[in-house]
Amino acid sequence: MGPETGPGLWLVIGIMALSLVLALFVGFRAGLTRDRRGKMFAFVGLFILPVLAVWLGFREQMTRAESTRFCLSCHAMSDWGKSLYIDDPSVFPAVHFQNHLIPADHACYTCHTTYTFFGPLKSKIEGLRHMYVEYLGTIPPPAKIKLYTPYDNRECLYCHGGARDFLQVDKHNKPAGEMAKIMSNQVSCMAANCHDTIHAIEDLKDVTFWKRGK
């Protein structure tokens, strides 16, 4: 098990296992429920604990679904995983990943979630759409895989907004009013001549890769 698992997972598994045993016990010893204590026991075993176990399990699955290993476990994403190791400071996903500007074990999710109230849920629903394409649809070639909607500056500004090293960059302030346009998503961070080299999937054959420890 990887870094996306921890003591929380074992607690959840323990509660689920306890709930499983109790549910089967109540089911096969239903005669116990004739008295008051038995009825309470059945209520705990068939309602309280299963609801708790499913809720905790769901939360744990949602957390696991945010891990880099989870996103890259589909074959179609392998090139995107490789692009995080490109040894080139102009490829900014690689710079963010290699310098731990984003958590390395949640690299994909950190940049590709939507930082709104229902953002995490929206990301999971989009993930189900990815799965549909992976197993029931036609996977496009890597160069043709695009985002469903244009990337919103909000996701960059979630970390960079208000940061000194973002505010003081000349290009973010000239011409006058540029910063306001960036903040309101009128000018994309990925516009031409800005941060326009993203995952560089087309160039993977010609680049060198960073190796951990070097």
Residues at the interface with other proteins (CB under 8 A): 1-2, 4, 9, 12-13, 16-17, 19-20, 23-28, 30-31, 33, 42, 45-47, 50-51, 53-54, 57-58, 60-61, 64-65, 67, 69-70, 73-74, 127-128, 130-131, 134
Closer residue to other proteins (CB): 44 or 207: 44
169: phi then psi, degrees, rounded to nearest 5:
-70, 125
Question: Closest CB to other proteins among 26 and 200?
Answer: 26
Instruction: State the minimum distance, in angstroms, from the CB of residue 210 to other proteins.
Output: 24
Q: What letter does residue 73 receive in the DSSP assignment?
A: T
Joined tokens for residue 177: 């009013």
Q: Which is nearer to other proteins, 50 or 142 (CB)?
A: 50
| Minimum CB distance to other proteins, residue 192 (Å) | 34
Token reading at 53: 């176990």
Burial grade of 147 (CB within 10 A; 0-12, 13-18, 19 or more) = exposed
Point out which residues pair with 209 in neighbouring strands. Answer: 86
- Residue 166 CA neighbour count, 13 Å, CB half: 16
Which residues does residue 86 pair with via DSSP β-bridges, in sequence order?
209
If the CB atoms of residues 131 and 194 are measured against other proteins, the closer one turns out to be: 131
Instruction: Quote the least distance from Cβ 5 to other proteins, whole Å.
Output: 8
CB nearer other proteins, residue 73 or residue 90: 73
Output the CA torsion 52→58→60→62 (10° steps).
-150
* Distance of alpha carbon 140 from alpha carbon 142, whole angstroms: 6
Q: Which residues contact 77 (CB under 8 A, 6 or more apart)?
A: 71, 108
With respect to other proteins, which residue has the nearer C-beta, 12 or 189? Answer: 12
